[in-house]
Amino acid sequence: MTLQIDLKSAVLALSDALDLVGVNDFQHGKRVAMIARKSAFLLGLPEERLDNLVCASLLHDIGVSSTVMHRRLVHDSEWDERDAHCERGHELLQPFAHLSLLANAIRYHHTPWGELPSGLSEADAVDSNLILLADRVDSVLLREGLENPLLHREAICAEIEAMAGHLLAPEVVSAFLGAAANEAFWIALVPRHVHFYLSELPLANWRVTIEFPQFRHVARLVSSIVDAKSHFTASHSLGVAQLSRHLGERMGLHADALVQVEIAGLMHDVGKLCVPDEIVDKPFPLTPVEFSVMERHSFETYQILRHIPGMETVAEWAAFHHETLNGRGYPFRHKAERLSLEARIVAVADVFQALAQARPYRGPQPTEVIPRILDMFVANGALDPEVVAVAGEDLQASWLAATQTI
């Protein structure tokens, strides 16, 4: 396999995906990374520790898929159930060699300094506390407004200083206050400066190249976050990925393309993290305003994936799943000549799997009914007739690929 992915780019893209959960609270993870790193720098931590801290901060809310949960975390620092997403994040990262290095810092980023378990390493204890500090600072900024963070400096510093010794380690608070004394610290938190700060960090220890079969595991991680957004979409992305690969095999795609089309299926709905829960789970038809929000998701998928070097083609296959052969799909209005076979496969797999699964407004469609519905899409000029025909040739195999979760 010649295609490779840079892990640093993948982490930044995953951070972009997590940013979507906040809807209007954009770049929360990135600001937490900036605040934590600038504070940690004054603690004299080595570069490798700083790199790990940045990545852990970027992904600290990886256990959050719900917009409702995100809002609660930002606005209620004493919420009793806040640890659930820490445990979920720890669980998600454990299976991955490099990402597992971040798991403990994420697991304890809402645990007060005085309550951290005795067996936790000093590095994980300090890193988790730095993330907690940065998370508290940014929560205040989100509530007060990011137009001029410098305006809130004194009040935030006083609030953080009062947490020393119980919620936060005294040395962590001291480092933060030292960093926060610099006006540039606050001005840099304005959204237009955040991207530049992170993109210029070398993160040398995360410049690891992984081949596409390995990246599939990261894509599976992303799909589990997306699908956890609603119980109606549980395993939807996994089913689309499995069916896409099954159809690709039946249609003669080569080995590299099979891996890529599977990854496209796993990540096709990553942009849906930006859609509020109440729209995703609505049991009635969407209003024009709500549908316009829903239409954003495939464009967001494209924006996230295309910025990972090596994923440009996969980004198209994933993001074009609502394009149609007649040019009436969204969001790009591409017509048949612009849609590759792989993109057409993902589009068919998406509709097939959705039909096989319950939705807020209907139950799962009987297996034998699905081909008739797909044929209606073909008659309307939406889906590719050859791909639909292959899906129906061995209907039971297609159904199993779309619905099996083991």
Catalytic residues: 272
d(CA 212, CA 7): 11
Q: What number of H helices and E strands is found in the chain? A: 22, 2
The closest of 320, 332, 314 to 384, measured between CA atoms, is 320
Say if CB 302 and CB 318 are below 8 A apart.
yes
Say if CB 345 and CB 263 are below 8 A apart.
no
Please, which residues bridge with residue 362 across strands?
359
Amino acid identity for residue 4 in this structure: Q
The bridge status of strand 209-211 relative to strand 4-6 is: antiparallel
d(CA 102, CA 14): 14
Say if CB 355 and CB 372 are below 8 A apart.
no
Give me the DSSP letters along 177-189: HHHHTSHHHHHTT
Peptide bond into 213 cis (omega under 30): no
289-304: burial string, b at 16+ Cβ within 10 Å, e else: ebeebbebbbbbbbbb
The closest of 338, 335, 336, 306 to 319, measured between CA atoms, is 306
Total residues found in the chain within this entry: 406
**Residue 77 structure tokens:** 């620092």
Torsion of CA 347, 352, 353, 356, to 10 degrees: 160
Q: Which residues fall within 8 angstroms of residue 182, CB to CB, at 6 or more apart?
A: none
CA 272 to chain centre: 9
Q: What are phi and psi of 254, to 5 degrees?
A: -75, 170
Q: Residue 117, class by beta-carbon neighbours within 10 Å (0-12 exposed, 13-18 middle, 19+ buried)?
A: exposed
**Per DSSP, which regions of 60-157 are E strands?**
none
